[in-house]
Structure 1
Amino acid sequence: MELDEAIMKRTSVRYFLERPVPDEHIKMLIESAIRAPTASGLENWLFVVFRTEDAREKIYGLIAEGMVKYYQAVNLPEEKIEKLKRRMYEEGMYRAPVYIAVFIDREIRFLPGKEFDELEFIWSVESAAMAIQNLMLKAVELGLGTVYIGVTNFKGIDEKVRKLAGLDENHYLVGVIPVGYPRNKPKSKKRKKSLDNVIMWI
């Protein structure tokens, strides 16, 4: 598969088959992830693979909790929140055979001094985000689907994910990525904005 094809085919997949993902494929995803640029060459990312039934069920519950918080934060009516719950608990939205939580270790840094704390943090998150994109593109090549979950970053939920991973407070959760074989054929969507809307020539 050509890179351009993987880029154009990548889309958010929210429904997965109950089919195991081989360990070798998971390793290939993370190998691709760590080929991404990393600020100051720190490589201060960590990929926690949740694949046991118990761990997956706990992560799934935290995703559901985060989704409800998200809907409540944008003041969606209660009937829409109930519809979301039905999609999750009855239709299995976001239920996947593997979840990969991506963390950064905030203790690993390059610039000394508190004045650089925010900058170091931004660089680390950017590095992890680029790694996630690599992972997602590799998933397309392997016939796997992925979706980025950010709602696990709500205060309190992120702590539960971190504790489930057995990590200390220096680790910051960048996101959780459900991974699996798509239940239906993925259809990539057109972007709302055209190139002319997002390019500025100087």
Structure 2
Amino acid sequence: MELDEAINGRTSVRYFKDESIPRDTLLELIKAAIWAPTASGLENWRFIVFESPEPVGKLYELIAEGMMEYYRAVNLPADKMEKLKTRMYEEGMYRAPAYVAVFIDRNVRFLKGREYDELELLWSIESAAMAIQNLMLKAVELGLGTVYIGVTNFRGIDEEVRKLAGLKESYYLAGVIPVGYPRADPTPRKRRRSAEDVTEFL
């Protein structure tokens, strides 16, 4: 597969088949992820792959909790909240056979002063984001679907995900990626704005 095919074919997949993914295939995603650029060469990321039924189920509940928190924050009407619950609990939106939780270790850093805390965190998150993009593009090549979940970063939910992952407090959650075989053929959406619309040459 050409790179352009993977880039243009990547789209957010929210419904997955109830079909397990071979561990070797999941490991291929991580191998692609760790070739991303990493600030100061630290490689301070950690990938936790949830694939066993019990942790997968617990993580799904935390995702659902995060979705509800998000929709409350944007003042979604009660009837739409009920539709969301139906999509999640009856139709299985975001229910995947595996999830990759991407963390960074805030104790592994290059600049040591407290005045650099925010900058070091930013660099680490940027590194993790590039790793996630690599993972998602590799998933396209392997016939898998993915979607980025950010709602697990609501305060309290992020801590529950970290504890579920068995990591110490220095680990910061960059995002959770459901992974699975798409229930339907993915159809990428066209971008609303063109490259020319969002670019300025100086």
Give TM-score, length-normalised by structure 1: 0.99
Q: Does 1:4 align with 2:14?
A: no
**Counterpart-to-counterpart distance in 1, 2:130 and 2:32:** 11
Unaligned runs of 5+ in 2: none
**Residue 46 of structure 2 aligns with which residue?**
46
Unaligned runs of 5+ in 1: none
**Counterpart-to-counterpart distance in 1, 2:72 and 2:43:** 36
Per-residue deviation, 1:141: 0.2
Instruction: For 1:178, give the aligned amino acid.
Output: P
User: CA deviation digits over 1:100-151, x for unaligned, max 9?
Assistant: 0000000000012111111100000000000000000000000000000000
**Residue 29 of structure 1 aligns with which residue?**
29
Instruction: For 2:41, give the aligned amino acid.
Output: G
User: CA deviation digits over 1:58-109, x for unaligned, max 9?
Assistant: 0000000000010010011011011000000000000000000000000000
Q: Does 1:129 align with 2:129?
A: yes
**Residue 63 of structure 1 aligns with which residue?**
63
Written as runs of structure 1 = structure 2, the 5 A alignment for 1:72-151 is 72-151=72-151
Instruction: For 1:163, give the aligned amino acid.
Output: K
Percent identity, aligned pairs only, is 68
**Counterpart-to-counterpart distance in 2, 1:13 and 1:97:** 13
Instruction: For 1:190, give the aligned amino acid.
Output: K
Q: SS of 1:196's equivalent?
A: coil
**Counterpart-to-counterpart distance in 2, 1:191 and 1:72:** 27
Per-residue deviation, 1:192: 1.1
Count of matched residue pairs = 202
Instruction: For 2:52, give the aligned amino acid.
Output: T
> Cα RMSD between the aligned structures?
0.5
More displaced, 153-162 or 188-197? 188-197
